[in-house]
Amino acid sequence: MKLVVQRVAHASVEVEGKITGKIDEGLMVLVGFGENDSEKEADYLARKVSKLRVFPDDDGKMNRSLLDIKGKLLLVPQFTLYGKVKKYRPSFHRAMSPDRATELFDYFTEKCREYVEVETGVFGAFMKVDLLNNGPVTIILEKDFED
């Protein structure tokens, strides 16, 4: 499982002209699932992203989490995180099948909601993502219990 986490001043996702998820200060997270991922990886990363200390404290050090600042998560499903490029066209054979990935995305969303407020994009839809990266701060989180 892979997450691309960006600290944002605000972010939103639009599908077919309708906003499906919108947050102010918080984290916008691109979420990808590999073919062998399970609820175990989702549980681990839901806890990790919610407690990730990437927001500044009073001294300007990254020492606060979403929980500390009462920020929100915007989760955006993105199977292309598992794209491999040997030549010029990416291959997605290591990405999880769409049916299973939809289930796991929904599961991951609910696990994150145990910690913080969550908005989402729409799995399998063409999405327009708008964000104002705050920092910029971008962190990649990965977990594969198969390793």
Kindly list the catalytic residues. Answer: 78-80
A 10 A CB-CB count for 123 gives 20
146, two tokens: 């198969």
Tokens, residue 16: 């077919």
Distance CA 1, CA 32 (A): 6
First to last CA, the chain: 12
Task: Indicate the SS3 state at residue 51.
Answer: helix
CA distance 81 to 126: 15
User: CA–CA separation, 44 vs 3, rounded Å?
Assistant: 12
